[in-house]
Structure 1
Amino acid sequence: MAGGQEVTAWRPRVPGVTEVFHAHFTEYAYPMHVHDAWTLLIVDDGAVRYDLDRHEHGTPLDTVSLLPPHVPHNGSPATPDGFRKRVVYLDASRLGDDLIGPAVDAPDLRDPLLRRRVGQLHSALARPGDELEAESRLALVAERLRGHLRERERERAVRRPQRRDEHELAGRLRELLDARVVDGVVLEEAGRVLHAHPAHLVRAFSAAYGIAPHQYLMSRRVGRARRLLLDGLPPGEVAPVTGFYDQAHLTRHFRKWVGVTPGRYRSSAR
């Protein structure tokens, strides 16, 4: 593929798994974006450098990375030959919103047993008919992840800072954007609803999450488009029901956030 991009994506018949995504990128870099699911990532070749909550992280081969939903992050190759990764996207309810904070603090987990179990989970997810095995392996993986995150939660409880008004305002704007992913929202309207000047809203949101409101909204729309494309819908039908003006609009943003066009992504599905 052009630019050294190889992508395979599918949605297995396993409760709690919204998507499986295998990719090899040599040059492509993800911009800041969000998912509405937990991102469980392992790297088989090379390494990924990424920013999460304004802190730089990396993914050596023995690491399992768990990126929480709704928290902006990016990603780029950390080695000249790029990276090959395997990702399982888990439904947001699988681990719970109360564990998002600990995952932000420590997204990269050095745990050889967990790393091996995640690899076994991917093997099971790739075999149609082995859904029960995949469910069983996912249960063990989720249990071990919760153990790590609960430990982090106990550590951070004593040093949790008090929420500031700016963060609360940003959180309310994010809730508004989440409720209007398809229809969108005009800044002037958001300002009236939240009783804040539009420019102040943009500054507060960008400072709190490291991503502008329009970027956050577009990445949420791309996330919805991914699910519909894996369901088999053509890009032309996906665009209007996910908030994009037309197929060209969808293609431009989808390529930016996923690395391939919607059509190529759909055709890669198993």
Structure 2
Amino acid sequence: MASDRPRTSISAWRPPVPGIAEVFHAHFTDHAYPAHTHDTWDLMILDDGSVDFALDRHRHGATGSTNVLLLPPGVPHDGRTVTESGFRKRNLYLDDSVLPQHLAGRAADTPVLNDELLRGRIDQLHTALVHPEDAFEAESRLSFIRERLHFHLAALQPRAPGREANRLAAQLRELLDSRTHAGLSLHEAAATLHAHPTHLIRCFKQTYGLPPHAYLTGKRIEHARSLLLDGHRPAEVATTVGLHDQAHLNRHFTRHVGTTPARYQRTRTGSYPTTS
């Protein structure tokens, strides 16, 4: 008689985001990892179920929606399911540009972090990573995750925006306005303005009320609306305003305007006043 237990399912890809070597999503029902090591950091959240694992010969367990697992590079670990229904997990494999190797020892001591804020940020990053064209947003979210992990491992307090916040925010806004079509990476913006990435984002949000990636998307949608009302085709509009393709335009346009670009464009034919 065939088992009615869910089958194992996995998906893996390499996103266009510096610092992330691989994204891995999986549902395991009876798989057990043998002892092994990684060259990268393994940052994992559970969406369902429980896991039991040994790290550096000490056993640990994790369950629930607030736990974050951080397994350091070079340290042997295994992993197995706890219940018959198995577990669903999402992993980020991070290189040492995100976390330096010298923090591995501290991570090995406390691999399970009960941090709801960190867990929420990782969830948001995974959502952004599903769409490769949203690399700027993903890079921004990874920057805050990196900061939070450093807070746990190195007891580094995040720097609050100071008196220079408005100046930095204005400089970044000017940079984004000049690169609306071409876009830019967070790393490039931070290097140009000589500021730490997360500090730069905080200054911008404090000054303008939204993060820089959301500001850039809003500018592009504003430009798209104008082009659509001028009669340009949605596919042409997408590339003109700096979005990846029409699907990318559709997703953000619908979220901002409440309708698709094609439907929005069709309204223009009946919007003109009649003349006698």
TM-score bucket of the superposed structures, by smaller chain: 0.5 to 0.7
Give the distance between the partners of 2:91 and 2:81, measured in 1 at CA: 16
Shift of 1:79: 1.6
Give the distance between the partners of 1:6 and 1:15, measured in 2 at CA: 26
SS at match of 1:69: coil
8 A contact 2:5–2:85 mirrored in 1: no
Q: Percent identity?
A: 55
8 A contact 1:36–1:92 mirrored in 2: no
Shift of 1:118: 0.5
SS at match of 1:92: coil
**Alignment-derived partner of residue 128 in structure 2:** 124
**Alignment-derived partner of residue 14 in structure 2:** 11
* Match among 30, 44, 49 for residue 46 of structure 1: 49
Amino acid at match of 1:138: L
**Alignment-derived partner of residue 150 in structure 2:** 146
Structure 2: 5+ residue stretches without partners: 157-276
Alignment of 1:1-270 (within 5 A): 4-61=7-64, 62-151=66-155
Give the distance between the partners of 1:92 and 1:80, measured in 2 at CA: 36
Shift of 1:116: 0.4
Q: TM-score, normalised by structure 2?
A: 0.53
Shift of 1:93: 3.3
Amino acid at match of 2:19: G
Shift of 1:128: 2.0
Amino acid at match of 2:56: D
Shift of 1:3: 7.8
**Alignment-derived partner of residue 191 in structure 1:** none
Shift of 1:39: 0.2
Amino acid at match of 2:136: L
- State the aligned residue count: 152
After superposition, the CA RMSD in angstroms is: 1.8
Give the distance between the partners of 1:92 and 1:2, measured in 2 at CA: 38
Give the distance between the partners of 2:144 and 2:155, measured in 1 at CA: 17
Give the distance between the partners of 2:96 and 2:38, measured in 1 at CA: 9
Give the distance between the partners of 1:135 and 1:143, measured in 2 at CA: 13
Amino acid at match of 1:58: G
Give the distance between the partners of 2:152 and 2:106, measured in 1 at CA: 9
8 A contact 2:27–2:86 mirrored in 1: yes
String of CA shifts for 1:153-200, please: whole Å, max 9, x gaps: xxxxxxxxxxxxxxxxxxxxxxxxxxxxxxxxxxxxxxxxxxxxxxxx
Shift of 1:150: 1.1
SS at match of 1:64: strand
**Alignment-derived partner of residue 268 in structure 1:** none
SS at match of 1:129: helix
Shift of 1:54: 1.1
8 A contact 1:3–1:28 mirrored in 2: no
Shift of 1:2: 9.9
SS at match of 1:14: coil
Give the distance between the partners of 2:85 and 2:123, measured in 1 at CA: 22
Give the distance between the partners of 1:56 and 1:73, measured in 2 at CA: 9
Give the distance between the partners of 1:97 and 1:122, measured in 2 at CA: 24
Shift of 1:57: 0.9
SS at match of 1:81: coil
